[in-house]
Amino acid sequence: MVISLILIEGKNVNEEALVFSLQNAKQIVIGKAQGFGTILHIAATTPGDLREGLLKYAQVPGVTEVTILATRSDWG
């Protein structure tokens, strides 16, 4: 499992547009970071699944930056 906090930046990005189906990953919108963007919590099965999710977020209309703020892997 790979758990990450992600910052989504852009102009007029609708929070609802950030909630969609990710293959082998789940996301929770944590909320707005005043002046920065929206912070998401993503739990993915593998690093590849996280990467695919990040690529999907980069394609959301209005998104200009997708930044990983923190990542933790639990490979037990």
Q: 2-73 has which CATH code? A: 3.30.70
Residue 30: the pLDDT is 84
Distance CA 30, CA 39 (A): 6
Q: Mean pLDDT across the chain, nearest whole number?
A: 89
Domain boundaries, the chain: 2-73
* Closest listed residue to residue 28, CA positions, set 8, 43, 10: 43
Per-residue pLDDT reduced to its tens digit, 6-23 = 999 998 888 888 888 888
Distance CA 37, CA 9 (A): 5
